[in-house]
Amino acid sequence: MRYIFETPAITSLPIIGREERFPVRRVFCIGRNYAEHAREMGAAVDASAPMFFCKPADALVTDGADVPYPQATSDLHHEVEMVVALQSGGMDLDAAQAAASILGYGVGLDLTRRDLQAVFKAKGHPWDVAKAFDHSAPMSALRLASEVSPDADTQITLHVNGTLRQQGRLGEMVLGVAEIIVALSKLFELKPGDLIFTGTPAGVAALVRGDRFHAQLHGIAVLDGRIV
């Protein structure tokens, strides 16, 4: 097969303890999956109608690379999240199939151009440009599910310049991991290589150039980086 220009490189993530990397297909995200975060954003939570959106695979920032401050915003916000990587997929999965589809876990930031999001929300317009921009998803290496088993007491935290900004427990999620996968599989055919950002706890706030962040899914994954 010949193409008119060079094909883009495949976005991939390192896997802790393995030479192979995880090739990324799609990046799904769920909004309003922690009640306290929904309240701080002035939004209601409806567990029966989860809110999903996507980021392009090449929005990921991997291997500890610097994160460029994006254009067209003066209010860039952090949202720390557990990220789930899939090794299999399908449609209309049940809970057991959803659990079996998980390859591993990591921690990432769902960066948001909050000022643009507010403008589009006020107009009732889609706010993809507030979420799916370049470099909007810094991401850690993955830890295999065969090695770890996050539970309701697993903590997720974000420090910026050494100060704690966000802290939560996975048990505070409105929908658990298997429930998220089941719900997504009713809307999309999930496949190996898909990533799922599972929502952020309260405490979202602004990042500026020069900020250093330390995100941690305790006992599982760590992400360090800086905004440049």
Residues 126-170: pLDDT tens digits? 989 999 999 999 999 999 999 999 999 999 999 999 999 999 999
Spatial separation of the C-alpha atoms in residues 69 and 168, rounded to whole Å: 26
pLDDT at residue 38 in the model: 64
How many CB atoms are closer than 10 A to CB 9? 7
**Mean pLDDT value across the chain:** 96
Q: Identify whether the C-beta of residue 39 lies closer than 8 Å to the C-beta of residue 89.
A: no
Residue-wise pLDDT for 77-135, tens only, equals: 999 999 999 999 999 999 999 999 999 999 999 999 999 999 999 999 998 999 999 99
CATH of the domain spanning 20-226? 3.90.850.10
Residues 6+ apart with CB under 8 A from 135: 59, 61, 67, 68, 70, 111
Q: How confident is the model at residue 17 (pLDDT cuts 50, 70, 90)?
A: very high
* Span 47-61, average pLDDT: 94
pLDDT above 90 as % of the chain: 91
Sheet holding 195-197: strands in order across? 51-55, 27-31, 195-197, 80-86, 102-109, 143-144
Residue-wise pLDDT for 200-220, tens only, equals: 999 999 999 999 999 999 999
Spatial separation of the C-alpha atoms in residues 96 and 177, rounded to whole Å: 11
**The whole model's pTM is what?**
0.96
Residues 6+ apart with CB under 8 A from 72: 113, 116, 129, 133
User: Domain spans of the chain?
Assistant: 20-226
Alpha helices in 132-226 (DSSP H): 177-185
